[in-house]
């Protein structure tokens, strides 16, 4: 089994992350004092290139080329900025940025030779007034290092991301690291993934959905259908919503044929009364909704100045209003139960905007902001609210994009693929994998977070 290297100037912090990575993974610690822990280790001074190079040669000779690399920064000494002396400034940069740079320099060739892999660079989040301006500078540099490396290494199948964790809270970084190293994050690169404080996560006393149901809206096809099928494989009974009864029934049939439990619940999520009746039927069928995936969405491309106002209002009513209608209906029960997961499917277009889709971009941008606001409101009762912002996904929507651009579908797909540093567009199943993580008990670690999955694409 190819090893996963966990490196860092602070052996205790690196070991804490190493112990949280998925069981069965071959872990090798690299850093000063690494041998003091109960995992295979190689001593190295990561601030020195020759020491780091020697350590990586030993890892490759002993355990083989790595499949993943994690770099963990040392603990930080808080100090008001005007009291930060040159020695503290340099040591902070050395511990975070220089160490990450050296590790990546020597890990990248091995990952490229292996045909791909994953790199996760952990950095500390500095909050205002925390006396961590020096740490913030180092972390910002690490974030941009991750993004730059993602562009350089993406064509070789290597994904590079950063994790922003509360300063000194090593355990807070573990769920994000675990996700970024997994195949579920195969279309995530060049991103900075936030992590909630390990002491303030929306885990809930129940610790899981228990006897509840997962409701997935817009699950008749595309991303929604893939999410419904993935959650069913995870063992959840799934209520499949969609506007067209025939589509929801086909999704249900695939789930049931694969041994899962599902039932169709067609309804227009833009209609609050229809949502109330639908969720009442879901509760009668299998119990309360403990996982809600708001995926229902529509897009009809149109230049803003030519857009019919009816189209504008319909897109907002479905894409954003549907999230509001469903969340308002299920949140009281989730809070009473002490557990709930709401995962909203936003869009990369909701973060950057794109011509011809002002209505869609506005609705998806609203979802991102709503996700953050709701997360703050309900975290105290064990409910986590998070979002996924996909880039280009291989669904039927690409046909409409091609028609609007006046080009064949194959050319539309090729253009989108060229825009992503990974050189391809995503599958619906890859987005479903991210949703499944956010919908799980571990999803509490991502409360308020929007995970961007766009293959490293930086512009619309």
Catalytic residue IDs: 360
SS3 label, residue 341: strand
CB neighbourhood size of 95 (10 A): 21
CA within 13 Å, CB half, 211: 6
Question: What values do phi and psi take at 241, rounded to 5?
Answer: -105, 150
What angle do helix axes 222-233 and 245-257 make, rounded to 10 degrees? 30
The rounded distance, in Å, linking the Cα atoms of 120 and 159 is: 8
CA nearest neighbour of 213 among 255, 185, 183:
255
User: In angstroms, rounded to a whole number, what is the distance separating the alpha carbons of residues 195 and 127?
Assistant: 13
Here the tokens at position 157 are 């199948």
Which DSSP state fits 74? P
Beta-carbon contacts of residue 181 (< 8 Å; ≥ 6 apart):
4, 21, 22, 68, 70, 118, 120
Q: DSSP labels for 373-400? A: HHHHHHGGGTEEEEEEEE--BSSTHHHH
The residue ranges of DSSP E strands in 126-283, in sequence order, are 158-166, 192-194, 213-216, 238-240, 262-264
DSSP-based three-state secondary structure for 218:
coil
Per-residue CA distances from 24 to 20, 40, 70 (Å): 11, 14, 17
Mapping DSSP to helix (H, G, I), strand (E, B) and coil, where does residue 264 land? strand
Q: Under 8 Å CB-to-CB from 80, ≥6 apart: which residues? A: 131
Whole-angstrom distance, CA of residue 448 vs CA of residue 213? 22
Query: With helix as H, strand as E and coil as C, how does 232-249 read?
Result: HHCCCCEEECCCCHHHHH
For residue 84, what is the enclosing H or E element?
none
Note whether 421 and 190 are within 8 A (CB). yes
């Amino acid at each position: 089994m190819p090893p996963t290297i966990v490196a860092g100037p602070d052996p205790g912090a690196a070991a804490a992350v190493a112990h949280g990575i998925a069981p069965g993974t071959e872990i090798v610690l690299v850093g000063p004092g690494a041998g003091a822990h109960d995992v295979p280790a190689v001593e190295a001074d990561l601030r020195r290139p020759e020491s780091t190079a020697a350590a990586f040669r030993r890892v490759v000779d002993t355990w083989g080329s790595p499949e993943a690399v994690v770099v963990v920064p040392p603990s930080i000494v808080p100090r008001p900025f005007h009291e930060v002396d040159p020695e503290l400034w340099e040591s902070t940069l050395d511990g975070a940025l220089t160490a990450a740079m050296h590790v990546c320099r020597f890990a990248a060739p091995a990952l490229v030779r292996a045909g791909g892999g994953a790199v996760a660079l952990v950095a500390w989040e500095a909050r205002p007034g925390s006396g961590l301006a020096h740490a913030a500078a180092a972390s910002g540099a690490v974030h941009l290092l991750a993004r730059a490396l993602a562009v350089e290494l993406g064509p070789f199948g290597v994904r590079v991301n950063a994790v922003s964790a509360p300063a000194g809270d090593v355990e807070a970084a573990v769920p994000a690291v675990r996700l970024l190293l997994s195949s579920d994050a195969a279309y995530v690169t060049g991103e900075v993934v936030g992590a909630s404080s390990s002491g303030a996560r929306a885990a809930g006393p129940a610790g899981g959905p228990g006897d509840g149901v997962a409701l997935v809206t817009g699950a008749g096809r595309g991303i929604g259908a893939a999410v419904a099928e993935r959650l069913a494989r995870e063992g959840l009974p799934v209520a499949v919503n969609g506007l067209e009864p025939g589509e929801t029934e086909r999704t249900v049939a695939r789930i049931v044929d694969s041994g899962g439990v599902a039932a169709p619940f067609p309804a227009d999520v833009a209609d609050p009364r229809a949502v109330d009746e639908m969720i009442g039927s879901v509760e009668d069928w299998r119990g309360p909704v403990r996982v809600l995936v708001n995926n229902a969405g529509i897009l009809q491309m149109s230049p803003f100045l030519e857009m019919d106002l009816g189209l504008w209002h319909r897109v907002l009513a479905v894409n954003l209003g549907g999230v509001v209608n469903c969340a308002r209906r299920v949140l009281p029960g989730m809070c009473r139960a002490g557990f709930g997961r709401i995962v909203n499917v936003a869009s990369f277009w909701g973060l950057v905007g794109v011509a011809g889709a002002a209505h869609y971009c506005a609705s998806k941008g609203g979802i991102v902001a709503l996700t953050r606001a709701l997360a703050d409101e309900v975290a105290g009762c064990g409910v986590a609210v998070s979002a996924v912002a996909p880039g280009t996904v291989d669904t039927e929507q690409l046909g409409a994009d091609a028609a609007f651009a006046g080009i064949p579908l194959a050319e539309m797909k090729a253009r989108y693929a060229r825009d992503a540093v990974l050189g391809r567009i995503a599958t619906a199943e890859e987005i479903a994998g991210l949703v499944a993580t956010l919908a799980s008990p571990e999803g509490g670690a991502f409360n308020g977070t929007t995970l961007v999955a766009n293959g490293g694409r930086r512009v619309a």
